Amino acid sequence: MDTLFWFRRDLRLFSNEALIQALNNGAKHAIFFVSEKQWQQHQAAPIQIDLLKRRVTYLQSQLADYGITLHIIEAPSFSDCTRELINFCKANDVKHVIANTEYELNEVNRDKAILHECDELSITFTLYEGDLIAPAGSVKNQSNEMYKVFTPFKRAWLKQYQDTHFSLPQWPLTSEPIKFDESDLLKSDGCSDKWPVDDETLSTVVDNFICDKLTSYDDQRDIPSVKGTSGLSPYLALGIVSTKQLLINIQQRYPDILTTSKSKTFTWINELVWREFYRHLIAEFPKLSRGDNFNEKYNAVVWRKSESDFKAWCEGRTGYPLVDAAMLQLKQTGWMHNRLRMVVASFLTKHLLIDWRKGERFFMQHLIDGDLASNNGGWQWAASTGCDAQPYFRVFNPIRQSERFDPTGKFIRKYLPELENVPDKHINFPHTYLAATGKDKECYWPAIVDHKAARERALAAFKV
């Protein structure tokens, strides 16, 4: 054995340049480490780990059809990954290891340790930029610094992409089946079963979104009661779907999409660029992986330590129906609508004045699409502590958000059936109506904070 491919959060065969390069180098073996202890330390949600394990099982089978053996090895922590990788290379005469880059601090430190060990043994360790369209650190301003505002980053990113005209390498192998034994390390609860992991189904999902939903995405993406989003975020988080492939597929259908950035069709592309922005930030500023505020002036904010309020938020018992329904959606499905992520994050950090890090951790513990860069970026944006975040004086009114995006309570009633009989005009904040009908205590819990008072408290805290 000469060349080995190491799967990480790039769990795909096609549109995987690093894997295809390994195969072109003659690789017949790949490796994946099951790192339960490390996943727990990173707060990975059980539903996401289940999806990951199901996908690796699928990959093992698919690779076997092409004559490639995927070795599943237990390595509880990243230090174990280093040791197990080196041992595998020694035992199998591996001279070249190929993988895709990961940008978070612990992963970067792991790779530095591996590179040192490989150098000692004259093993080549090559990393590709498989998770980004524009390589980390390649989009800089005229001072050769990372952009700290999204819009100029987007302009530079678009220009760089338009000037590159990249294409993806073709799959180099034909079928050459081998036998494989499914690893016991990949046994799981099956709690992610509603999310398919096979390429055929995922290809259909992608095509349907691009052909049928992309043009209506701008109009429907903020409405939680309809399936107006792509539903691809769990697959992007684990590298099951390639961002480069998505962009190429979209351009094939809409050739001018990148030159019409103000069109509704571009709106979803804009979200992809935000994803790139947060990854460039996490690579450039290691402090984000440590949970530091990006904007250090907000280190002076004194967060409240109310465990009862935090518990009420976690359990969906704040007394604000849209917030509560969103939190119940997260707990019951492992996913939350993007508009609602902003609403509940604003509520925790502004209405309850509770540290954004607690919300960030809770999301990671429950989200099937949990991803440090995007999750950290989203939370710091909502808390006004992040890079190009919303200004501190912008406090989402959860009642107004409900009136705008769930006016008839269709989404609210799905997760709060106790409010089924509340009239539409009262569904967004039913307390006065329920008190008048004598059902306030038996039907729905009281609001834990008054919006106006909470907003004033938040403004005072952030003005420091």
Q: What is the mean pLDDT of the chain?
A: 95
pLDDT in tens, 261-317: 778 889 999 999 999 999 999 999 999 999 999 999 999 999 999 999 999 999 999
pLDDT at 64 over 80: yes
Dihedral of the CA atoms 318, 321, 326, 327 (nearest 10)? Answer: 20
Contacts of 76 (CB under 8 A, 6+ apart): 35, 36, 37, 38
- Catalytic positions: 271, 274, 303, 338, 356, 379
- Sequence ranges of the domains in the chain: 3-128, 132-166+197-284, 296-462
pLDDT in tens, 232-242: 999 999 999 99
Residue bearing the bigger pLDDT, 89 or 464: 89
Contacts of 221 (CB under 8 A, 6+ apart): 228, 229, 267, 268, 338, 339
In CATH, the number for domain 132-166+197-284 is 1.25.40.80
Own/partner long-range contacts of 431-438 (Cβ < 8 Å, ≥24 apart)? 431/319
How many CB atoms within 10 Å of residue 403?
A: 15
Specify the amino acid at residue 173. L
Identify which of 300, 301, 318 has the alpha carbon closest to the alpha carbon of residue 309. 318
CA pair distance 296, 44, nearest whole angstrom: 27
- What percentage of the chain reaches a pLDDT higher than 90? 91
pLDDT (0 to 100) of residue 34:
98
**β-sheet bridge partners, residue 6:** 31, 99
pLDDT in tens, 413-428: 999 999 999 999 999 9
- What percentage of the chain reaches a pLDDT higher than 70? 99
Regarding the domain delimited by 3-128, which CATH topology (the fold level of the hierarchy) does it fall under? Rossmann fold (3.40.50)
pTM flag (> 0.85): yes
Q: What is the DSSP string of 277-313?
A: HHHHHHHH-GGGGGT--SSGGGGG---B--HHHHHHH
Regarding the domain delimited by 296-462, which CATH topology (the fold level of the hierarchy) does it fall under? DNA Cyclobutane Dipyrimidine Photolyase, subunit A; domain 3 (1.10.579)
